[in-house]
Chain A
Amino acid sequence: MNAVTTTSDPAATVLHLRCHRPSFDVYRQVFTVLADTTPVVQALPPDSALLQLGGAVRYFDKSPAELADVLQTRLAGRLGLVTTGGIGVSRLYATIAADTARPSTVQVLPDDPAAARAFLHQQDIRLLPGVGPALEKKFRRYGIDTVGDLAAVPTATVQRIAGASTGRLLAERAAGTDRRTITAAGPPATIASTRRFDHDVLDPAEIRRALLHLALDLGARLRAAGQSARAVELQVTYADRSTTTRSRTLREATSHSPALRDVLYAVFGGLGLERARIRAVTARIGGLVAAGHTGGVQLSFDAATEAARALEPVLDRAAARYGSGAVAPAALAVARGRPGWTVGADRRRTW
Chain B
Amino acid sequence: MSAHLHVASGYSVRYGASLPAALAERAAERGVTELALTDRDTVSGVVRHAKACAAAGVRPLFGADLAVGLAEPTAAAARRRSPARGGAFVDESAPRITVLARDKAGWANICSLISAAWAARAERGGGQPVVPLEVLAGLTEGLTVLLGPGSEPVRALAAGRPDRATQLLAPWREMFGPALRLEAVHLGRAGTSPGSLRLAARTVGLAADLDLEAVLTNAVRYADPGQSPVADVLDAARLLRPVQPGTTCNGERWLKPPAAMAQLADEVAEAAGQGPGGGRRLLAVTARTAAECRLDPKSDLGIGGVRFPEEDRLGLVPGTSARVLRERCESVLAERGMDRDPEAVRRLAEELEVVTGLGWSTFFLTVGQIVADFKAAGVRVSARGSGAGSLVVHLLGISAVNPLQHGLMIMERFLSFRRRSLPDIDVDVPADRRIDCYRLVLDRFGTSRVAAVAMPETYRVRWAIRDVSLATGLPPEEAGRLAKAFPHIRARDARAAMAELPELRQTAERAGRYGDRFWDLVEGLDALPRGSAMHPCGLLLSDDTLLARTPVLPTPEDGLPMSVFDRDDIEDLGCLKLDILGNRTMQALSYALSEVERTTGRTIDLDDAEQVPLDDEAAFALLREGESLGVFSIDSPGQRDLLGRAQPKCFLDLVVQLALFRPGPVAADMIRPWLAARHGRQPVRYPHPDLIPALAPTLGVLVFNEQVAKVISMLTRTDLAMGEEARRALSRPERLPALESWFRACAAAAGYDQRVIDTTFAQLKGMGAYGFPASHSAAFAVITLQSAWLKAHFGPSFYAGIMEAEPGMYPLRLLLADARRHGVPVLPVCVEASGAGYRVETGPDGREGLRIALAAVKGITDQEVERITAARPFTSVPDLWERARPSLPTAQHLARIGALAAVPGGTRPRRDLLLLLDELHHGRRSAAVPDQLALPAPAESHAPTGLPAMTPGQELDAELEVIGLDASRHLMAEHHDLLAELGVTPSTRLREVEAGETVLVAGAKVAIQTPPQKSGRRTIFVTLDDGADGPPVDLAYFSGPEAEASAHTLFHCWLLVARGEVQRRGRSVSVVGRRAWDLAELARVRAEGGTAAVRALLAEPGHGDASYPHGDRRSGGPGGAGRMWHASPGAAG
* Binary flags per residue of A261-303, CB closer than 8 Å to B gives 1, else 0: 0000000001111111100000000000000000000000000
The chain B residue sitting closest to A338, CB to CB, is B245
* Binary flags per residue of A324-351, CB closer than 8 Å to B gives 1, else 0: 0000000000000011111111001101
Q: Judging by beta carbons under 8 Å apart, are B81 and A272 in contact?
A: yes
Q: Judging by beta carbons under 8 Å apart, are A240 and B472 in contact?
A: no
Q: Say yes or no for A321: interface residue by CB 8 A criterion.
A: no
Q: Say yes or no for B1003: interface residue by CB 8 A criterion.
A: no
The chain A residue sitting closest to B513, CB to CB, is A345
Q: Judging by beta carbons under 8 Å apart, are B513 and A157 in contact?
A: no
Chain B nearest CB from A82 CB (Å) reads 25
Chain A nearest CB from B402 CB (Å) reads 60
Q: Judging by beta carbons under 8 Å apart, are B85 and A341 in contact?
A: no
Q: Say yes or no for A76: interface residue by CB 8 A criterion.
A: no
Q: Considering the chains assembled together, what is the distance between the CA atoms of A238 and B87 in angstroms?
A: 13
Q: Judging by beta carbons under 8 Å apart, are A342 and B85 in contact?
A: no
Contact partner of A142 (CB less than 8 A), chosen from B242, B474, B518, B914, is: B914
Q: Say yes or no for A118: interface residue by CB 8 A criterion.
A: no
Q: Considering the chains assembled together, what is the distance between the CA atoms of A343 and B476 in angstroms?
A: 14
Q: Judging by beta carbons under 8 Å apart, are B911 and A142 in contact?
A: yes
Q: Say yes or no for A202: interface residue by CB 8 A criterion.
A: yes
Given A274-B89, A275-B87, A277-B242, verify A240-B476 contact (CB < 8 Å). yes
Contact partner of B83 (CB less than 8 A), chosen from A142, A154, A276, is: A276
Q: A residues within 8 A CB of B892? A: 141
Q: Considering the chains assembled together, what is the distance between the CA atoms of A111 and B946 in angstroms?
A: 31
Interface stretch (choices B588-596, B865-873, B947-955):
B947-955
Which of B248, B476, B477 counts the most A-chain CB atoms under 10 A from its CB?
Answer: B476
Q: Considering the chains assembled together, what is the distance between the CA atoms of A276 and B892 in angstroms?
A: 36
Q: Say yes or no for B244: interface residue by CB 8 A criterion.
A: yes
Q: A residues within 8 A CB of B241? A: 200, 202, 275, 277
Q: B residues within 8 A CB of A189? A: none
Tally of A-B Cβ pairs under 8 angstroms = 132
Q: B residues within 8 A CB of A273? A: 83-86
Q: Judging by beta carbons under 8 Å apart, are B475 and A241 in contact?
A: yes
Q: Judging by beta carbons under 8 Å apart, are B475 and A153 in contact?
A: no
Contact partner of A143 (CB less than 8 A), chosen from B90, B475, B947, is: B947
Contact partner of B914 (CB less than 8 A), chosen from A141, A240, A338, is: A141
Q: Considering the chains assembled together, what is the distance between the CA atoms of A338 and B243 in angstroms?
A: 13
Contact partner of A345 (CB less than 8 A), chosen from B239, B515, B954, is: B515
Q: Say yes or no for B82: interface residue by CB 8 A criterion.
A: yes
Q: Considering the chains assembled together, what is the distance between the CA atoms of A31 and B315 in angstroms?
A: 94
Which of B89, B477, B947 counts the most A-chain CB atoms under 10 A from its CB?
Answer: B947
Q: Say yes or no for A199: interface residue by CB 8 A criterion.
A: yes
The chain A residue sitting closest to B249, CB to CB, is A351
Q: Which of B59-96 contact A (CB under 8 A)?
A: 80-90
Q: Say yes or no for A144: interface residue by CB 8 A criterion.
A: yes
Given A275-B87, A343-B472, A343-B517, verify A240-B245 contact (CB < 8 Å). no
Q: Considering the chains assembled together, what is the distance between the CA atoms of A220 and B476 in angstroms?
A: 37
Q: Considering the chains assembled together, what is the distance between the CA atoms of A199 and B918 in angstroms?
A: 47
Given A143-B911, A144-B948, verify A239-B240 contact (CB < 8 Å). no
Q: Considering the chains assembled together, what is the distance between the CA atoms of A137 and B475 in angstroms?
A: 30
Q: A residues within 8 A CB of B88? A: 274-275
Q: Say yes or no for B1089: interface residue by CB 8 A criterion.
A: no
Contact partner of B514 (CB less than 8 A), chosen from A152, A242, A343, is: A343
Q: A residues within 8 A CB of B512? A: 345
Q: Say yes or no for B149: interface residue by CB 8 A criterion.
A: no
Q: Judging by beta carbons under 8 Å apart, are A344 and B89 in contact?
A: no
Which of B896, B915, B919 counts the most A-chain CB atoms under 10 A from its CB?
Answer: B915
Q: Judging by beta carbons under 8 Å apart, are B80 and A275 in contact?
A: no
Q: B residues within 8 A CB of A240? A: 475-477
Q: Judging by beta carbons under 8 Å apart, are A343 and B911 in contact?
A: no
Given A143-B954, A271-B83, verify A341-B473 contact (CB < 8 Å). yes
The chain B residue sitting closest to A153, CB to CB, is B946
- What size tier do the contact residues of chain B reach? 35 or more
Chain B nearest CB from A151 CB (Å) reads 11
Q: Say yes or no for A160: interface residue by CB 8 A criterion.
A: yes
Q: Judging by beta carbons under 8 Å apart, are A275 and B473 in contact?
A: no
Q: Considering the chains assembled together, what is the distance between the CA atoms of A244 and B476 in angstroms?
A: 17
Q: Judging by beta carbons under 8 Å apart, are B86 and A340 in contact?
A: no
State the interface size on chain A (CB cutoff 8 A).
42
Contact partner of B85 (CB less than 8 A), chosen from A149, A244, A343, A344, is: A244
Contact partner of A344 (CB less than 8 A), chosen from B84, B514, B915, is: B514
Q: Considering the chains assembled together, what is the distance between the CA atoms of A274 and B85 in angstroms?
A: 8
The chain B residue sitting closest to A241, CB to CB, is B475
Q: Judging by beta carbons under 8 Å apart, are A272 and B84 in contact?
A: yes
Q: Considering the chains assembled together, what is the distance between the CA atoms of A236 and B241 in angstroms?
A: 17
* Binary flags per residue of B901-942, CB closer than 8 Å to A gives 1, else 0: 000000000010011001100000000000000000000000
Chain B nearest CB from A211 CB (Å) reads 16
* Binary flags per residue of A185-223, CB closer than 8 Å to B gives 1, else 0: 000000000000001101100000000000000000000
Q: Considering the chains assembled together, what is the distance between the CA atoms of A203 and B246 in angstroms?
A: 11
Q: Judging by beta carbons under 8 Å apart, are B518 and A153 in contact?
A: no
Chain A nearest CB from B881 CB (Å) reads 16
Q: A residues within 8 A CB of B474? A: 343
Q: Judging by beta carbons under 8 Å apart, are B472 and A275 in contact?
A: no
Contact partner of B947 (CB less than 8 A), chosen from A157, A277, A341, A348, is: A157
Q: A residues within 8 A CB of B81? A: 270, 272
Q: Which of B505-558 contact A (CB under 8 A)?
A: 512-515, 517-518
Q: B residues within 8 A CB of A135? A: none
Which of B88, B240, B945 counts the most A-chain CB atoms under 10 A from its CB?
Answer: B945
Q: Say yes or no for A79: interface residue by CB 8 A criterion.
A: no
Q: B residues within 8 A CB of A199? A: 242, 245, 473
Q: B residues within 8 A CB of A342? A: 472-473
Q: Say yes or no for B471: interface residue by CB 8 A criterion.
A: yes
Q: Judging by beta carbons under 8 Å apart, are B473 and A200 in contact?
A: yes
The chain A residue sitting closest to B945, CB to CB, is A157
Q: Judging by beta carbons under 8 Å apart, are B911 and A272 in contact?
A: no
Q: Say yes or no for B229: interface residue by CB 8 A criterion.
A: yes
Q: A residues within 8 A CB of B954? A: 143
Q: Say yes or no for A161: interface residue by CB 8 A criterion.
A: yes
Q: Which of B470-507 contact A (CB under 8 A)?
A: 471-477
Q: Judging by beta carbons under 8 Å apart, are B517 and A274 in contact?
A: no
Q: Which 8 A-B pairs have the closest CB atoms?
A: A276-B86, A200-B473, A272-B81, A271-B84, A143-B948, A341-B243, A200-B242, A276-B85
Q: What are 29 pairs between A and B in contact, CB < 8 Å?
A: A138-B918, A141-B914, A142-B911, A142-B915, A143-B949, A144-B947, A144-B948, A157-B915, A157-B946, A160-B945, A161-B915, A199-B242, A200-B241, A200-B242, A238-B86, A239-B242, A244-B85, A271-B84, A272-B80, A273-B84, A273-B85, A275-B86, A277-B86, A340-B473, A343-B513, A343-B514, A343-B515, A348-B515, A349-B517
Besides A202-B242, A274-B89, A276-B87, 13 other CB < 8 A contacts?
A154-B945, A157-B946, A199-B245, A239-B242, A240-B475, A273-B85, A275-B88, A276-B86, A277-B241, A341-B243, A341-B471, A344-B515, A348-B515
